[in-house]
Amino acid sequence: MNGLHAAVESTFTADGAEAFTVDAEIEVQPGESLVILGPSGSGKTLLLETVAGFHEHDGFVGFDGRQLTDLPPERRDFGFVFQDYALFPHMTVTENVAYGTQYHDETGDPDALLAELGVSHLSDRYPPTLSGGEKQRVALARALAIQPAVMLLDEPLAALDVPTRQALRDDLADVLADVTSVYVTHNRTTARALADRIAVMRDGQIVQTGTPEDVFERPASPMVAEFTGANTVDISSAPSLRRLLNGSVSADGDGNGHAAIRPEAITIGDSGEIQASVERVVREDATNRVTLSFDGVTVNAFADDPPSVGEMVGLTVPEDRVHHCGSAGPDSRARQL
């Protein structure tokens, strides 16, 4: 196939830690950005590093029909951006960006890349004197300088403050447009902003793959629903919701299973199909997150003009925004949010 295709099967141990198995397969079309989204410890970084060639494994890594599995990292034509920058402290910014170009025939202009990323004024500085955001822009320029066939990015925004993260995320959206890339993150806002497709990872395995709309609006399990920020409600414990849905969302004929409802799909008003009490109101940026209780379950919704704690309100939930996401097994970490 064209693009990147990798199937990783390996058990990893480090520093006496318990063995962890990654058994996952990904495909990335040319020019596509695949975001691997999952909680800490799910194996995202191990998968990315294995694709890059940093770990031995059973399986394969291929690009455009070429087998890369036995090649060292420097011969795979992949650019890698690390969470902790991994810049050489004894080299200037320009020297860091130009470092990889000595091993490749076709390369980008380090000065032009630094200018494109807004850090050309730092060219003679050394990494220890840079801020986190500046270091990450330099690291990104270094990865791009070799004109890689594929960009691999491991949580590059995780250590940054919110304004810097937002600014660099916008720049990444421009940089990664039409670039074949795999981006690892636990941040769902970043995933939605950068992904053409999302692969959700848990316990070393890919549990759902789809467009951002597929994954966020139609989660395949309570775990995916919870991790992507949806409310998960046990239908059998919520008669008000069952009446509203009239059995249209169910795991079986008895109306069991879990429903995923995104907070932004719930409208709070004086009237509504479901009566709920306001349990908590928390300010979040430009809106408020309102925690509501009905039938012994709780859900979150957003409101610019929130009701008061203890108030009874009506909830309107469009039926087409409620998605059946299966039943929570005994090992599921899904909960009522």
Looking at residue 236, which CATH number applies to its domain? 2.40.50.140
Residue 335 lies inside a defined structural domain of this protein? no
Backbone φ, ψ for residue 171 (5° rounding) = -65, -40
Integer Cα distance of 245 and 233 in angstroms: 13
Q: Which domain holds residue 303?
A: 231-324
Q: The CATH number of the domain where 184 resides is what?
A: 3.40.50.300
Nearest to 97 by CA among 40, 151, 140: 140
Residue 16 has what pLDDT? 63
N-to-C CA span, the chain: 41
**147 and 243: one domain?**
no
Residue 335 has what pLDDT? 31
**212 and 294: one domain?**
no
Render pLDDT for 88-124 as a digit per residue (tens, 0 to 9): 999 999 999 999 888 888 889 999 999 999 999 999 9
CA 243 to chain centre: 34
**60 and 183: one domain?**
yes
**112 and 258: one domain?**
no
Residue 135 lies inside a defined structural domain of this protein? yes
Residue 255 has what pLDDT? 52
| Rg of the chain, C-alpha, whole Å | 23
**127 and 11: one domain?**
yes
Question: Which of 156, 183, 217 finishes a domain?
Answer: 217
Where the chain has pLDDT below 50, the residues are 250-254, 330-337
Question: Which of 217, 251, 272 finishes a domain?
Answer: 217
Number of domains present in the structure of the chain: 2
